[in-house]
């Protein structure tokens, strides 16, 4: 997701007395800064939305528990009231909310005229489209397999007045100049960043008393938590305030918690300050759902990877095309969700399951956020992340082992009739025409 930095218009004139007011504020020790990205049962799916000149831009949209894209209607002008009834509701089907569904943040539940409950986002009722058949469909058009840009001249447009409910969390906040929001791999959420793109952390206490001691996991004993500076004439903006330090310098705070960066984060996207100190935590504003028992690990070879809570690497099975010259052509370096669903759990047959263990989900698990459940051959539920079924490898014996990385199977049409791979190969050859097909194991990136 792209980095977003915005500053509210009309703030060029600063109220000079405001900083003095905030210097004596009470600090919100232990306050949770984050809000969940979605309610239970609402998922996030990648869709291709047509742009100018017939191109399509890949973006994330809200979807129901089955992964079907959610839409809003321009005629729904009164908050939490649906104008789509009768025949309209047969084409755009109200997004049903469970009886025990609870409102929070921008999410509300309201009763339709017939008494059924429907989800709304920012007051706009949500719907699925009758022509969308599977996850990733947009306006009744199939998901795009081959990456972020593809011509879509033949795609059908949405009916007038309808648009996808896209996931744009930065739109819900107002930031000072030099502060933005970014997805950080090992945090499972959208995190505050500074103007360099470096992860920002929130302090649980008064910044005048942020005494720092040696940190065992670091080489030096110098200060590792660096205040996020605010201009001397800065004023509060949105939920950001200015606090004064012992030396008189100004520092940004968010919702009453002073903000810092961490010295051992060297490049944007790193968050090595996680769990270093109980007094500092990543300033996460939007938190993604993560199943119990799933964590993030780090290896020198691969960087951040999904792991079990015991540190064992989690893998997914993807597909590539093999050209006649022998060079592998990836269908997408980060994995296309539609490819993952095409492979599904059938990408690992009985023989495969001798060395690959499905990452099983509880029987009552519910698809939420980027996580969904798939069904194994024996009827169990298996976790999938961003469209790909997940596994661990039996030859990984220690946390951080990656013995399952880059294991390939080359599949050709001859001899696949009546085999478990027959429908898989047919689908993959449609995905990458005129190529032999290969499927391979790779780590699941967070």
Q: 60-119 pLDDT, tens per residue?
A: 999 999 999 999 999 999 999 999 999 999 999 999 999 899 999 999 999 999 999 999
Q: Which of residues 192 and 346 earns the better pLDDT score?
A: 192
Residue 47 lies in domain: 43-166
What is the CB neighbour count within 10 angstroms for residue 257?
A: 25
Is residue 333 over pLDDT 90?
A: no
Count of domains for the chain: 3
DSSP letter assigned to residue 368: B
Q: Which two tokens stand for residue 320?
A: 């590539």
- The answer to whether 359 and 383 have CB atoms below 8 angstroms apart is yes
Cα-based torsion angle of the residue sequence 68, 329, 421, 425 in order, rounded to the nearest 10 degrees = 70
Q: Which two tokens stand for residue 342?
A: 């095409």
Is residue 145 over pLDDT 90?
A: no
Q: Is residue 5 a part of any domain in this protein?
A: no
**Percent of the chain that is helix, strand, coil (3-state, to 5):** 10, 35, 60
Shared domain for 268 and 298, answered yes or no, is no
Shared domain for 148 and 266, answered yes or no, is no
Mean pLDDT value across the chain: 83
Shared domain for 150 and 55, answered yes or no, is yes
Question: What pLDDT sits at residue 329?
Answer: 43
pLDDT grade for 318, boundaries at 50, 70 and 90: confident
Which one of 148, 166, 184 terminates a domain?
166
Shared domain for 119 and 98, answered yes or no, is yes
Q: Is residue 346 a part of any domain in this protein?
A: yes
Distance of CA 251 to the CA centre of its chain: 30
Shared domain for 194 and 310, answered yes or no, is no
C-alpha separations of 333 from 74, 94, 313, 444 in Å? 37, 36, 19, 12
The DSSP element (H or E) to which 21 belongs, if any, is: helix 18-22
C-alpha separations of 101 from 64, 97, 107 in Å? 13, 6, 10
Q: Which of residues 444 and 52 earns the better pLDDT score?
A: 444
Shared domain for 116 and 178, answered yes or no, is no
- The answer to whether 62 and 121 have CB atoms below 8 angstroms apart is yes
Question: What pLDDT sits at residue 346?
Answer: 83
Distance of CA 56 to the CA centre of its chain: 20
Shared domain for 377 and 395, answered yes or no, is yes
Q: Which two tokens stand for residue 23?
A: 């210097």
Measured CA to CA, the distance from residue 36 to residue 445 in angstroms comes to: 21
C-alpha separations of 272 from 200, 263, 358 in Å? 11, 9, 29
Q: Is residue 342 a part of any domain in this protein?
A: yes
Which one of 287, 303, 338 terminates a domain?
287
Shared domain for 158 and 212, answered yes or no, is no
Which one of 149, 166, 183 terminates a domain?
166
The 10s digit of each residue's pLDDT in 248-287 is: 899 999 999 999 999 999 999 999 999 888 899 999 999 9
Shared domain for 229 and 325, answered yes or no, is no
- The answer to whether 207 and 227 have CB atoms below 8 angstroms apart is yes
Q: Which of residues 193 and 212 earns the better pLDDT score?
A: 193
Shared domain for 320 and 359, answered yes or no, is yes
Q: Is residue 4 a part of any domain in this protein?
A: no
Q: Which two tokens stand for residue 37?
A: 């990205």
Q: Is residue 324 a part of any domain in this protein?
A: yes
Question: What pLDDT sits at residue 336?
Answer: 82
- The answer to whether 41 and 368 have CB atoms below 8 angstroms apart is yes
For residues 343-357, give the mean pLDDT.
90
Shared domain for 215 and 102, answered yes or no, is no
Q: Is residue 216 a part of any domain in this protein?
A: yes
Q: Is residue 158 a part of any domain in this protein?
A: yes
DSSP letter assigned to residue 222: S
Shared domain for 230 and 314, answered yes or no, is no
Q: Is residue 11 a part of any domain in this protein?
A: no
Q: Which two tokens stand for residue 386?
A: 């961003």
Measured CA to CA, the distance from residue 367 to residue 385 in angstroms comes to: 10
Query: Tokens 């609402």 map to which residue?
Result: 42
């Amino acid at each position: 997701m792209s980095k977003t930095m915005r500053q509210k218009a009309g703030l060029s004139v600063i109220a000079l007395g405001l900083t003095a007011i905030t210097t004596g504020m009470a600090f919100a020790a232990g306050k949770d800064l984050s809000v969940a990205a979605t309610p239970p049962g609402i998922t996030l799916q990648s869709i291709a939305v047509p742009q100018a000149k017939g191109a399509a831009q890949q973006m994330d949209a809200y979807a129901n528990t089955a992964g079907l894209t959610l839409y809003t209607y321009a005629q729904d002008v009164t908050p939490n009231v649906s104008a789509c009834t009768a025949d309209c509701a047969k084409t755009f089907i109200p997004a049903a909310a469970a009886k025990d569904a609870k409102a929070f943040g921008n999410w509300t539940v309201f009763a339709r005229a017939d008494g059924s409950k429907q989800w709304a986002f920012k007051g706009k009722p949500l719907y699925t489209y009758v022509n969308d058949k599977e996850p990733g469909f947009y306006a009744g058009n199939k998901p795009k397999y081959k990456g972020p840009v593809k011509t879509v001249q033949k795609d059908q447009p949405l009916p007038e007045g309808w648009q996808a409910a896209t996931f744009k969390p930065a739109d819900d906040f107002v930031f000072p100049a030099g502060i933005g929001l970014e997805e950080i791999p090992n945090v499972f959420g959208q995190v505050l960043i500074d103007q360099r793109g470096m992860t920002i952390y929130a302090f649980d206490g008064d910044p005048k008393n942020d005494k720092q001691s040696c940190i065992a996991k670091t080489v030096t004993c110098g200060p590792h938590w660096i205040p996020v500076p605010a201009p001397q004439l800065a004023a509060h903006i949105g939920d950001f305030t200015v606090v004064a330090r012992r030396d008189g310098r100004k520092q940004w705070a968010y919702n009453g918690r002073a903000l810092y960066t961490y010295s051992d984060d060297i490049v944007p996207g790193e968050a090595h300050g996680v769990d270093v100190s109980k007094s500092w935590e990543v300033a996460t504003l939007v938190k993604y759902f993560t199943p119990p028992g799933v964590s993030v690990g780090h290896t020198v070879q691969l960087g951040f990877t999904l792991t079990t809570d015991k540190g064992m690497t989690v893998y997914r099975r993807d597909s590539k095309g093999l050209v006649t010259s022998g060079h592998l052509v990836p269908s997408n370096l980060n994995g296309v969700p539609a490819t993952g669903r095409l492979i599904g759990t059938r990408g690992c047959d009985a023989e495969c399951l001798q060395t690959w263990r499905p990452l099983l989900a509880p029987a009552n698990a519910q698809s939420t956020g980027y996580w969904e459940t798939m069904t194994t051959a024996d009827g169990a539920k298996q976790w999938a992340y961003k469209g790909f079924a997940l596994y661990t490898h039996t030859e990984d014996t220690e946390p951080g082992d990656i013995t399952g990385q880059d294991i390939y199977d080359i599949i050709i049409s001859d001899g696949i009739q009546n085999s478990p791979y027959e429908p898989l190969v047919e689908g993959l050859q449609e995905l990458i025409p005129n190529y032999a097909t290969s499927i391979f194991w790779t780590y699941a990136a967070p």
